[in-house]
Amino acid sequence: MDETLLARMTWPEAKAAFAEDRVVVVPIGSVEQHGPHLPVGTDYLVADTLGKMIAGRCKKCLVTPTIPVGYADYHTDFVGSLSVSLSTLEAYVAEYVSYLVKYGAKRILFVNSHGGNMPALAHLSYRLRRQGVLAATILWWDILGVLAPETSPAGHGDWIETSMALACDSGAVKMDKAKLPVAKPTNVKALEIKTPHEIIFQGVPVHVRLATADFTATGDMLEPGLTPHGDPTIPPDRASVEIGTKLMETIVTFMVEFMREFRKMKLE
């Protein structure tokens, strides 16, 4: 594993690794509330664990230290949630990555475990493309939604995310507090708040940007449509270390296989 974890290399070892044209993996998470049963570091823990698992399985990659805090301002009504602005996040990651590019990185994979980071990563990836660098971003729930539909996530702090957290750090999960969340009702019957990001009116999705506390009193929440097959009726107390471990193996296997093909990709 030490051959692929940048933080454990000496500088001559790092120089040799960059010379091999490896895919550089940048795990990025978030520190934000996940309801009354999960730690605020859930997204960070998942990204960090996935990065280390990838490092143990892929000799043609190079895994950087995990970026812990992302954009999660809409969660900050719940104490312990941390955030930087989207512009700050993009600027920080851009500078972070600029040194990887300086040392020779041509392909970068962002292992992102928080949806709120996506706008910053998307804009940065366009900028990197203009520099001759290919950047890809993977969300773990997208993988499960396709490759393991029976375990598709259905919400923030649901049974799948709870299983992932258990696999990362079971001692930080309060399973006695894991219960199905109840969404706050809207005062306008014609408007259905589907998630803090979407209102349904006459069957049409209208994109909004609400605070999480507008939608849920406990922080955890069901998000119908998060993945195609997510089942919002499964309570989080169905989660287990075994389920989480199996899911993470599925995710890491996909990522390693993707990188094998990503290394071959060339653009004009």
3-state SS record for 144-205: HHHHCHHHCCCEECCHHHHHHHHHHHHHHCCHHHCCCCCECCCCCCCCEEEECCEEEECCEE
Q: What CATH code is carried by the domain that includes residue 43? A: 3.40.50.10310
Is the confidence at residue 1, as pLDDT, over 60? no
Is the confidence at residue 107, as pLDDT, over 70? yes
Task: Read off the amino acid at residue 64.
Answer: T
Domain that holds residue 98: 6-151+243-262
Q: Is residue 177 part of a domain?
A: no
pLDDT of residue 111: 98
Q: Is residue 162 part of a domain?
A: no
Q: Is residue 180 part of a domain?
A: no
Alpha helices in the chain (DSSP H): 11-19, 42-55, 86-102, 118-130, 140-147, 159-169, 241-262
User: Cβ distance 148 to 21 under 8 Å?
Assistant: no
pLDDT band per the 50, 70, 90 thresholds, residue 2: low
d(CA 179, CA 177): 6
Q: How far is CA 234 from CA 154, 222, 265, in A?
A: 9, 10, 40
d(CA 64, CA 55): 10
Q: How far is CA 112 from CA 115, 117, 184, in A?
A: 8, 8, 29
pLDDT of residue 226: 83
Is the confidence at residue 268, as pLDDT, over 80? no
Q: Is residue 95 part of a domain?
A: yes
pLDDT digits (tens, 9 = 90+) for 189-226: 999 888 888 999 999 999 999 999 999 999 999 987 78
Is the confidence at residue 11, as pLDDT, over 90? yes
Q: Is residue 38 part of a domain?
A: yes
Average pLDDT over residues 103-110: 97
The answer to whether the predicted template modeling score (pTM) of the entire model surpasses 0.75 is: yes
Average pLDDT over residues 112-122: 98
Is the confidence at residue 69, as pLDDT, over 90? yes
Q: Is residue 161 part of a domain?
A: no
Number of domains in the chain: 1
Average pLDDT, the chain: 95
Provide the token pair at 15: 């120089």
Q: Is residue 94 part of a domain?
A: yes
Average pLDDT over residues 79-105: 98
pLDDT of residue 194: 84
Q: Is residue 268 part of a domain?
A: no
d(CA 232, CA 206): 21
For residue 23, which of 111, 96, 146, 83 has the smallest C-alpha distance? 111
